[in-house]
Amino acid sequence: MNPLFPGLNEKANRQLRLLWLGCGEQDGLLAGNLRLSEWLNANGVRHTWVQTPGQHSFRVWRRYLAEFAPLLFQAQKPK
């Protein structure tokens, strides 16, 4: 169990519509984001992980926004 997210496990998938993480390979935050993605996988939390060349910059954010924003407006799948 992680003390920062004690209730976050596979049960969260019922409430999560989208959990999207992205990070550039030259970003100083890459290692922490990779650990978070691995932790989510280990705890059965569905998410999308995207890693691309680039650093912590507007160029990378703009690319991610173009990929991520349309996902927000997709129709929900029936449960």
Residue with tokens 């290692």: 31
Handedness of CA 60, 58, 22, 17 (dihedral sign): negative
State which amino acid sits at residue 56: H
Residue with tokens 């705890």: 43
The residues pairing with 21 across neighbouring beta strands, listed in sequence order, are 49
- pTM metric for this prediction: 0.84
Residue 13 falls in which region: left (phi positive, over 0), alpha (psi -120 to 50) or beta: alpha
* Each residue's pLDDT expressed in tens, for the chain with a length of 79 residues: 567 778 889 999 999 999 999 999 999 999 999 999 999 999 999 999 999 999 999 999 999 999 999 999 988 765 5
